[in-house]
Amino acid sequence: MGSLLTAVKSKMHIFAHRKARGLLEGEYASIFRGNGLDFDDLRDYVPGDEVRDIDWKATARTGKPLIKRYVATRRQQLLLVADTGRNMAALAEGGEPKKDLAVMAMGVLGLLALGHGDSVALVHGDAAGTAALPAKGTEHHVEMLLRHMDAVGLDHEPSDLSSQLEYAAAHYRQRLLLVVIADDVLADPRLAKVVRRLHAQHEVLWVHIADAALAGPKAVQGTALDVAGMEPVLAFLAQDPVLARSYADAMAERARGLAEMLSAHGIATASIATTSEVIGQIFLLLERHRRGR
């Protein structure tokens, strides 16, 4: 079996040239600015950098804008809270298994954390229970975390993201960066309560893996499977215009409810439909979080 993390590295190399990777790393580091960081050195300014980080004396001396870079004086912790219920075995909007997008997102975030000298932990599970893997700062450890997501199949129990979030809220008290990785979830009172609690405790970001369409012009063809209830869905029936409209309205309302709940707490989100979007969307996620602080 090949290394999942090596595959993530390869895709990062393809999709992000050196300057883009530097910007991505800078956005990750900015989350902890002012929280255990010391000045390290200077680098050239690139569009998108914080004006407050410009070293004006060095800029005047060299004739070009220079940015201060920082290093962590103590290790931070990245906690990934991931849905590993069988919902993640279904197809994403772009036609790939959702778990493949989740593995890519977890891998990118894990590599950013390791590059920053941070440790990475995982809370994951389904309706049958929740498991936690402790924080470590090695590539081997991150590989093991990715394998828990990659192992998701139709034999897993249904998803229950609120249980994993409640576990994180109960067991992680020290402030850390918490990134949720899940598909479409209903913003019910239980979810709203635990999200509010986590937001008060941690820096929270949300990665949304977009569902495949079951109705309308982008609907999956043939007979699909509703993995939550393990029941067949006759996708060709979803081409009915009335049904397609009703489905679109219901999904839009569900998405709007989650977006409004997260926005109310200032939680930055990114929606991902294909693996090729992951790096760009992670960059935008970190940028939104920085600008929203």
Q: Is the pLDDT of residue 292 over 90?
A: no
CA triplet 16, 202, 194: central angle to 5 degrees? Answer: 110
Lowest-confidence pick of 54-63, 65-74, 113-122? 65-74
pLDDT value at position 231? 55
Question: Per residue in 246-260, pLDDT tens?
Answer: 877 888 898 899 999
CA pair distance 79, 82, nearest whole angstrom: 10
CA triplet 35, 40, 46: central angle to 5 degrees? Answer: 90
On whether the CB atoms of residues 268 and 206 are closer than 8 A, the answer is: yes
On whether the CB atoms of residues 108 and 179 are closer than 8 A, the answer is: no
Which tops the pLDDT comparison, 235 or 202? 202
Q: Is the pLDDT of residue 73 over 50?
A: no
pLDDT value at position 83? 97
Mean pLDDT of the chain: 84
What are the E-state strand segments in the chain?
A: 37-44, 66-72, 77-83, 119-126, 129-136, 177-182, 203-209, 223-226, 231-234, 268-272
pLDDT value at position 102? 98
Question: Per residue in 196-226, pLDDT tens?
Answer: 999 999 999 999 999 887 666 666 555 555 5
On whether the CB atoms of residues 247 and 214 are closer than 8 A, the answer is: yes
CA pair distance 200, 289, nearest whole angstrom: 15
Task: Note the pTM of the prediction, 2 decimals.
Answer: 0.80
Question: Per residue in 6-53, pLDDT tens?
Answer: 999 988 877 656 556 666 777 777 776 544 445 556 778 877 677 777
Is 20 strand, coil or helix? helix
> pLDDT above 90 covers what percent of the chain?
53
Question: Per residue in 144-181, pLDDT tens?
Answer: 999 999 999 989 999 999 999 999 999 999 889 999 99
